[in-house]
Chains A and B, each alone.
Chain A
C-alpha cells in the first residue's frame, strides 16, 4: 500500500495539566475512511483539530502526503487549504448566502474565477439536493440542510482529506439520515476521510478502519467487523456495551 495521505504519529496534546492526547497514531490511506470512536471527552475533536492545524501539537507529528505539517516552518494556512473540515455545529457564515459560503475559499484562497467557483458550487449543491437554496442565508435552512452545505463548502476546496467531527450529533434524529447519505456518497466516490462519530451503525457501513480512542491513545483499531464485533480490549468492550445500551448500534 502507498504512503498514507494523512499520518498522525505519536501526537501529544495537553491543555494545561489536562493531557488529552498521550501519543496518538492514526493513518488514513488514499480513498480510505477511518472512523474515530470513543467516549465523550476522549479527545476525538482535539485530535481532528490537531490534524487540521487549528491546534498546535505538543509532541509528535502530522504528515500530510508525507510532509510534516506540524513543523513550525511550514505555512499553516497553505496546509489548511489542502484540507476540508466539517464541524459539529456547521459553522456556516451567517452573513453570507449559501453560494457565497461555498465559493468563498475557492475564489479568495485558491484564486479560481468567480464563474468557475460558481459552476462548481452549483454542481456540488445539486449533488446534495440543495441547488435551489444557493441564494438563501444559512438561518433559513434546517440543521440537516446547513450541514449538507457545510460539507459542500469543505468539498469545494477539492481537499486531499476530509475531516468530519461528529457532524450529525447536533441534528434532530430525523435529519441525520440525509447528512449521512451525503457522506456515504462522498466516500464511495473515493474521498479520503477521517471522521469522529457516535453513529456506530454508520461507521460499520462506511469505514474501512475503526480506531477506538481511550485515555489519550488509540487503544484498538482495525476493520469494523473486528473492532465492533470482536473487540480485543476490555475497555473497548465496555464502551461498546454502553453504546449498545444507548441504542446506537
Chain B
C-alpha cells in the first residue's frame, strides 16, 4: 500500500513538473546530461577539499566539544574561571550564524597581518566550522554526562576511583552511548555545512560548480554538486537511524538507569 501510494505520488509529481510551461527551459539549464558529465570531474575534485575539512573538522569538533563539556561540568570554586569561559564560549558560538563566523575568521584573521597567522581558506574555514560545531557538540556531551545518574559516580568514588578515573571509566562511556544518535545527526549537518567554506574562496565542490556555471551559463553544475553532498549524507543518515532505533529499544527494555 505504501509503495503504491508513493509510486502514484511520484507519477503525479513527474507529470505536473514535466507538463509545466517552463519545463523545457528548466530541463536544459538545470538538468543537462552533457553539462553534468563535463562538470563532474572538476566538482568531484572540489569535493575532496570538503571531505578533508569534514574529516579534520569532525575530529577537532569531537575533541574540543568534549573538553568544553567537561570544563562546564567541573565543580568547585577553583574551576570557576574555566567554567565561565566554557559557558561564554558556548553561548557565543551557538548563537552566531555559521556564515558570520566564517566571514569573521576567514577575513578578519588574515587582515590582522600577524606573523604566523595562516591565510589558507582551508585552515580558516575549518577553524570557523570547528568553533561553531564544537559549541553545539559540547552541549550534546554535557547533556549526556548529566544523564548519567549521580549514583553511578557515587559508586565509582566509593571504590576509591578518583574524579578523573570515575569520569573516564564510568561516566563518559555511558554518556557517549546515550549521545551517539545526536552526534550522528550533527555529523549529517556538518557534512553539508563544509560546503560553506566556498565563501572564503576555497575551491571546493560548491565553488567549482559556481565557476562552471559562470563559464557555461548553465545551472546543471549546482545540481551535480548538490547531489554529491546528498550522496555523502545518505549513509550517515541511515547509520544514525539504526543507532537511534537501537538506543530506543535498549531504553524501552530498561537497560539505562
Mark A residues whose CB is within 8 Å of B. Answer: 52, 54, 77-78, 80-83, 85, 87, 89, 91-95, 104-105, 108-110, 139, 153-154, 157
Contacts and interface: CB of A to CB of B under 8 A. Distances in A.
A157 B156 CA distance: 13
Interface stretch (B84-92, B97-105, B120-128, B249-257): B249-257
Contacts of A89: 151
B152 interface: yes
B173 A95 contact: yes
B169 interface: yes
B211 to A, nearest CB: 50
Contacts of A157: 159-160
B175 to A, nearest CB: 10
Contact of A95 (B156, B157, B159, B174): B174
A94 B169 CA distance: 12
Nearest to B156: A93
A105 B160 contact: yes
Contacts of A78: 160
Most buried by B among A81, A83, A91: A91
Given A77-B162, A139-B254, A139-B255, A91 B157 contact: no
Interface string B167-208: 001100110010000000000000000000000000000000
Given A94-B257, A95-B177, A139-B254, A54 B162 contact: no
Interface string B27-46: 00000000000000000000
Contacts of B155: 85, 87, 91-93
A155 B80 CA distance: 38
Q: Size class of B's contact patch? A: 20 to 34
Contact of A94 (B158, B159, B161, B256): B256
Interface of B: 151-152, 154-162, 165, 169-170, 173-174, 177, 253-257
B149 to A, nearest CB: 8
Contacts of A81: 159-160
Contact of B160 (A92, A95, A109, A139): A109
Contact of B158 (A85, A92, A110): A85
A108 B161 contact: yes
A87 B177 CA distance: 24
Contacts of A92: 155
Given A94-B255, A108-B165, A80 B159 contact: yes
Nearest to B155: A91
A80 B163 CA distance: 12
Contacts of A109: 159-161, 165
Contacts of B256: 94
Contact of A80 (B158, B253, B254): B158
A80 B173 contact: no
A94 B171 CA distance: 11
B153 to A, nearest CB: 9
Contacts of B151: 87, 89, 91
Given A94-B256, A104-B169, A77 B154 contact: no
A-B interface, 9 closest residue pairs, ranked by CB to CB distance from nearest: A81-B160, A91-B155, A85-B158, A105-B159, A109-B160, A80-B160, A91-B151, A139-B255, A95-B173
Nearest to B160: A81
22 contacts: A52-B158, A54-B154, A77-B161, A80-B158, A80-B159, A81-B159, A83-B158, A89-B151, A91-B152, A91-B154, A93-B156, A94-B255, A94-B257, A95-B174, A104-B159, A104-B161, A104-B169, A108-B165, A109-B159, A109-B161, A139-B255, A154-B159
